[in-house]
Structure 1
Amino acid sequence: MTSETRTSNKPVVIGVHVNEGTMRDPNPRIPWTPTEIGDTARECEDAGASLIHFHGRTSDGGADHSSDTYGAIIERIRATTDLLLAPSLANVPGYTVEQRLSNLVPNLENASRRPDFLVIDMGCAAMDLVDPDTGRYVTDTRTFVNDTRTQTELLDRAEELELTPYMASFNVSWTRAIVNHARSRSLTFPLVVAFILGGDEFPAAHPASAAGLRAQLDLLPPDLQVEPIVSAYRGNVLEAAEESIRRGGHVAIGAGDHHYAELGCPSTADLVRHVVEIARRHGRAPATPEQARRILGVKAHAGNRQ
Structure 2
Amino acid sequence: MNLDAMSSATEKPVVIGVHVNENTMRVPNPHIPWTPSEIADAARACEDAGASLMHFHGRTVDGAADHSAATYGAIIERVRTVSNLLLAPSMANVPGFTVEERLSNLAPNQGDPSRRSDFLVVDMGCAAMDLIDVTTGRYTTDSRVFVNDTGTQIELLSRAQELGMVPYQTSFNVSWTRAIFAHERVRNLLSPLVIAFILGGDEFPAAHPATAAGLSAQLDLLPTDLPVEWIVSAYRGNVLAAAEESIKRGGHVAIGVGDYHYAELGYPSTPDLVAEVAAIARKYGREPASPDQARRILGVDVHAHS
TM-score when scaled to structure 1? 0.97
C-alpha contact 2:165 2:303 (8 A) present in aligned 1: no
C-alpha contact 1:164 1:298 (8 A) present in aligned 2: yes
Residue 181 of structure 1 aligns to a residue whose secondary structure is helix
Is 2:56 aligned against 1:51?
Answer: no
- One-letter amino acid of the structure 2 residue matched with residue 155 of structure 1: L
Q: State the alpha-carbon separation in 2 of the partners of residues 163 and 61 from structure 1.
A: 27
C-alpha contact 2:166 2:303 (8 A) present in aligned 1: no
Other-structure match for 1:16: 18
Other-structure match for 2:300: 298
Q: State the alpha-carbon separation in 2 of the partners of residues 166 and 242 from structure 1.
A: 21
Other-structure match for 1:210: 212
C-alpha contact 1:89 1:101 (8 A) present in aligned 2: yes
Runs of 4+ in 1 over 4 A off after TM superposition: none
- One-letter amino acid of the structure 1 residue matched with residue 43 of structure 2: A
Alignment of 1:253-272 (within 5 A): 253-272=255-274
Q: State the alpha-carbon separation in 1 of the partners of residues 8 and 136 from structure 2.
A: 45
Other-structure match for 2:73: 71
The Cα shift of 1:238 comes to 0.1
Is 2:194 aligned against 1:192?
Answer: yes
Q: State the alpha-carbon separation in 1 of the partners of residues 274 and 8 from structure 2.
A: 24
C-alpha contact 1:293 1:300 (8 A) present in aligned 2: no
Percent of residue pairs identical: 74
- Choose the corresponding residue for 2:85, options 36, 60, 83: 83
**301 and 185 in structure 1: CA distance in 2 versus 1, 3 angstrom threshold:** closer
Residues 91-137 of structure 1 show CA distances to partners (whole Å, capped at 9, x for unaligned) of 00000000000001111111100010011000000000100111100
Deviates more, 1:241-250 or 1:292-301: 292-301
Other-structure match for 2:152: 150
C-alpha contact 2:18 2:256 (8 A) present in aligned 1: yes
- One-letter amino acid of the structure 2 residue matched with residue 44 of structure 1: C
Q: State the alpha-carbon separation in 1 of the partners of residues 74 and 52 from structure 2.
A: 20
Residue 301 of structure 2 aligns to a residue whose secondary structure is coil
Q: State the alpha-carbon separation in 2 of the partners of residues 193 and 55 from structure 1.
A: 19
Is 2:117 aligned against 1:112?
Answer: no
Name structure 2 gaps, 5 residues minimum: none
C-alpha contact 1:111 1:301 (8 A) present in aligned 2: no
Q: State the alpha-carbon separation in 1 of the partners of residues 204 and 246 from structure 2.
A: 20
Other-structure match for 1:161: 163
Q: State the alpha-carbon separation in 2 of the partners of residues 4 and 190 from structure 1.
A: 18
Q: State the alpha-carbon separation in 1 of the partners of residues 208 and 119 from structure 2.
A: 24
- One-letter amino acid of the structure 2 residue matched with residue 27 of structure 1: N
- Choose the corresponding residue for 1:234, options 233, 236, 246: 236
**69 and 300 in structure 1: CA distance in 2 versus 1, 3 angstrom threshold:** farther
Over the residues paired in the alignment, what is the CA RMSD in angstroms? 1.3
**182 and 300 in structure 1: CA distance in 2 versus 1, 3 angstrom threshold:** closer
Alignment of 1:116-127 (within 5 A): 116-127=118-129
Q: State the alpha-carbon separation in 2 of the partners of residues 139 and 269 from structure 1.
A: 32
Residue 299 of structure 1 aligns to a residue whose secondary structure is helix
C-alpha contact 1:35 1:76 (8 A) present in aligned 2: yes
C-alpha contact 1:8 1:246 (8 A) present in aligned 2: yes
Q: State the alpha-carbon separation in 1 of the partners of residues 157 and 260 from structure 2.
A: 29
The number of aligned residues is: 302
The Cα shift of 1:4 comes to 2.8
Q: State the alpha-carbon separation in 1 of the partners of residues 256 and 76 from structure 2.
A: 18
Q: State the alpha-carbon separation in 2 of the partners of residues 232 and 127 from structure 1.
A: 14
The Cα shift of 1:6 comes to 2.2
- One-letter amino acid of the structure 2 residue matched with residue 84 of structure 1: L
Other-structure match for 1:274: 276
Residues 158-214 of structure 1 show CA distances to partners (whole Å, capped at 9, x for unaligned) of 111111000000000000000101111120100000000000000000000000000
The Cα shift of 1:301 comes to 11
Q: State the alpha-carbon separation in 1 of the partners of residues 6 and 274 from structure 2.
A: 23
- One-letter amino acid of the structure 2 residue matched with residue 91 of structure 1: N
C-alpha contact 2:14 2:251 (8 A) present in aligned 1: yes
Q: State the alpha-carbon separation in 2 of the partners of residues 184 and 107 from structure 1.
A: 30
